Structure 1
Amino acid sequence: MKKILALLMSITLVVGLSACGQKTEDDPVTPGGTETPSETPGETEERTLKIAGLDGGYGKEHWMAVAEKFEANNPGVTVELTLEKNIEDVLRPQIQAMNVPDLMYISVGREGMMTETLIKENAVMDITDVLSMKVPGEEVTVGDKIIPGFTDTLITNPYGDGKTYLAPLFYGPTGLFYNSGLVGEGKTYALPETFEELFALNETAKANGSSLFTYPTTGYFDAFFYALVNEVGGAEFFNKAMTFDVETWSSDTMKEVFAIVGELVSYNHPDTVAQANNEGFTKNQQLILDNKALFIPNGTWLPGEMEKAPRAEGFEWGFTALPAVEKGGDRYSYTFFEQMYIPEGAKEADLAKEFIAYMYSDEAAKIIYEKSGAVMPVTTASSFMTDEDPNKLYYSVYDDGAKAAMGGFQSAPAVEGVDLVSSTGILFGTINSVATGDKTVDTWHQEVVDAVTKISAAMNN
Structure 2
Amino acid sequence: MTKFSAEWSRRNFLRGALATGALVLPASGALVGCATSGGGQEATEGEKTDQNPLGVPTDAPLEVYIFNGGFGDKYATDVHEPMYKKKYPKAKITHKAEVDIAGALQSRFVGGNPPDFVNDSGDGQIPLGQLVSDKQLYDLGDLYDAPSWDDPNTKVRDTLVPGAAEQGTFGDTTYVMNMALTVYGIWYDKALFDKNGWETPGTWDDMLSLCAEIKKAGIAPWTYPGVHARYMVWPLLTMAAKLGGADVLKAIDNLEEGAWGHEAVKESANALAGLRSKGYILAGTEGMDHIQAQGQWCAGKAAFVPCGSWLENEQKDAAKAAGFEFAVMPEPLLSDDSAMPLETLYATPGEPYVVPAAAKNPRGGLEYMRIMLSKEGAKGFTEQVSSLTVVKGAADGVQLPPGLTSAQAGLEAAGDNVISYMWREWYGDMWNPGVNTHMGDLLAGRKNVDEFVEGCEAEAKKVRDDDSVTKYTR
TM superposition score normalised by structure 1? 0.79
Query: Which of the numbers 183, 187, 194 marks the counterpart of 1:177?
Result: 187
8 Å Cα contact 2:14/2:110 also seen in 1 = no
| Aligned-partner residue type, residue 330 of structure 2 | A
| Aligned-partner residue type, residue 332 of structure 1 | T
- SS of the residue corresponding to residue 231 of structure 2 reads helix
Give the gaps of 5 or more residues in structure 2: 1-10, 19-23, 30-56, 470-474
Compute the displacement of 1:214 (Å).
Answer: 1.7
Between 1:164-173 and 1:331-340, the stretch displaced more is 331-340
C-alpha deviations, 1:243-268, integer Å up to 9, x for none?
Answer: 21113223323322322332244345
Query: Which of the numbers 227, 237, 249 marks the counterpart of 2:248?
Result: 237
Write out aligned runs for 1:211-290 (5 A).
Answer: 211-217=220-226, 218-267=229-278, 269=280, 271-278=282-289, 281-290=290-299
Determine the structure 2 residue equivalent to 1:35: none
Q: Does 2:413 match 1:404?
A: no
C-alpha deviations, 1:31-65, integer Å up to 9, x for none?
Answer: xxxxxxxxxxxxx9522222223122222222123
Determine the structure 2 residue equivalent to 1:360: 373
Determine the structure 2 residue equivalent to 1:68: 82
How large is the RMSD of aligned CA atoms in angstroms?
Answer: 3.4
C-alpha deviations, 1:249-296, integer Å up to 9, x for none?
Answer: 233233223223322443454544555333xx4443344345443211
8 Å Cα contact 1:172/1:395 also seen in 2 = no
| Aligned-partner residue type, residue 344 of structure 2 | Y
8 Å Cα contact 1:365/1:376 also seen in 2 = yes
Compute the displacement of 1:147 (Å).
Answer: 0.8
For 1:8 and 1:452, the matched residues in 2 are separated by 20
Compute the displacement of 1:390 (Å).
Answer: 5.1
- SS of the residue corresponding to residue 345 of structure 2 reads strand
Determine the structure 1 residue equivalent to 2:202: 193
C-alpha deviations, 1:86-111, integer Å up to 9, x for none?
Answer: 3333324444554222222113x634
C-alpha deviations, 1:367-423, integer Å up to 9, x for none?
Answer: 223333343211113314226665212222111236333343177689xxxx5321x
For 2:364 and 2:234, the matched residues in 1 are separated by 34
| Aligned-partner residue type, residue 438 of structure 1 | R
8 Å Cα contact 2:378/2:389 also seen in 1 = yes
Determine the structure 2 residue equivalent to 1:438: 446
8 Å Cα contact 1:285/1:296 also seen in 2 = yes
8 Å Cα contact 1:246/1:456 also seen in 2 = no
Write out aligned runs for 1:283-302 (5 A).
Answer: 283-302=292-311
Between 1:82-91 and 1:237-246, the stretch displaced more is 82-91
Bigger proportion of residues as helix: 2
C-alpha spacing 1:407/1:169, structure 2 compared with 1 (3 Å): farther
For 1:5 and 1:98, the matched residues in 2 are separated by 16
Q: Does 2:442 match 1:429?
A: no
Determine the structure 2 residue equivalent to 1:167: 177
For 1:387 and 1:192, the matched residues in 2 are separated by 25
8 Å Cα contact 1:413/1:459 also seen in 2 = no
Q: Does 2:163 match 1:149?
A: yes
Q: Does 2:142 match 1:129?
A: yes
Give the gaps of 5 or more residues in structure 1: 22-43
For 2:63 and 2:299, the matched residues in 1 are separated by 45
8 Å Cα contact 2:101/2:126 also seen in 1 = no
| Aligned-partner residue type, residue 252 of structure 1 | E
C-alpha deviations, 1:403-460, integer Å up to 9, x for none?
Answer: 333343177689xxxx5321xx342323333334332111111121122223212259
Query: Which of the numbers 332, 335, 344 marks the counterpart of 1:332?
Result: 344
8 Å Cα contact 1:150/1:406 also seen in 2 = no
For 1:446 and 1:246, the matched residues in 2 are separated by 11
Determine the structure 2 residue equivalent to 1:37: none
- SS of the residue corresponding to residue 174 of structure 1 reads strand
- SS of the residue corresponding to residue 351 of structure 1 reads helix
TM superposition score normalised by structure 2? 0.77
Q: Does 2:213 match 1:204?
A: yes
C-alpha spacing 1:189/1:444, structure 2 compared with 1 (3 Å): same
| Aligned-partner residue type, residue 385 of structure 1 | V
8 Å Cα contact 2:186/2:304 also seen in 1 = yes
For 2:135 and 2:160, the matched residues in 1 are separated by 25
8 Å Cα contact 1:172/1:335 also seen in 2 = yes
For 1:20 and 1:362, the matched residues in 2 are separated by 45
8 Å Cα contact 2:243/2:264 also seen in 1 = yes
Determine the structure 2 residue equivalent to 1:33: none
C-alpha deviations, 1:149-180, integer Å up to 9, x for none?
Answer: 22233xx123xx23211111123212111121
C-alpha deviations, 1:339-391, integer Å up to 9, x for none?
Answer: 11121212322332222222211121122233333432111133142266652
| Aligned-partner residue type, residue 360 of structure 1 | L
8 Å Cα contact 2:379/2:398 also seen in 1 = no
8 Å Cα contact 2:188/2:328 also seen in 1 = yes
| Aligned-partner residue type, residue 210 of structure 1 | I
For 1:315 and 1:264, the matched residues in 2 are separated by 25
For 2:292 and 2:371, the matched residues in 1 are separated by 40
Compute the displacement of 1:9 (Å).
Answer: 8.3
C-alpha spacing 1:343/1:315, structure 2 compared with 1 (3 Å): closer
C-alpha spacing 1:396/1:103, structure 2 compared with 1 (3 Å): same
For 2:379 and 2:258, the matched residues in 1 are separated by 45
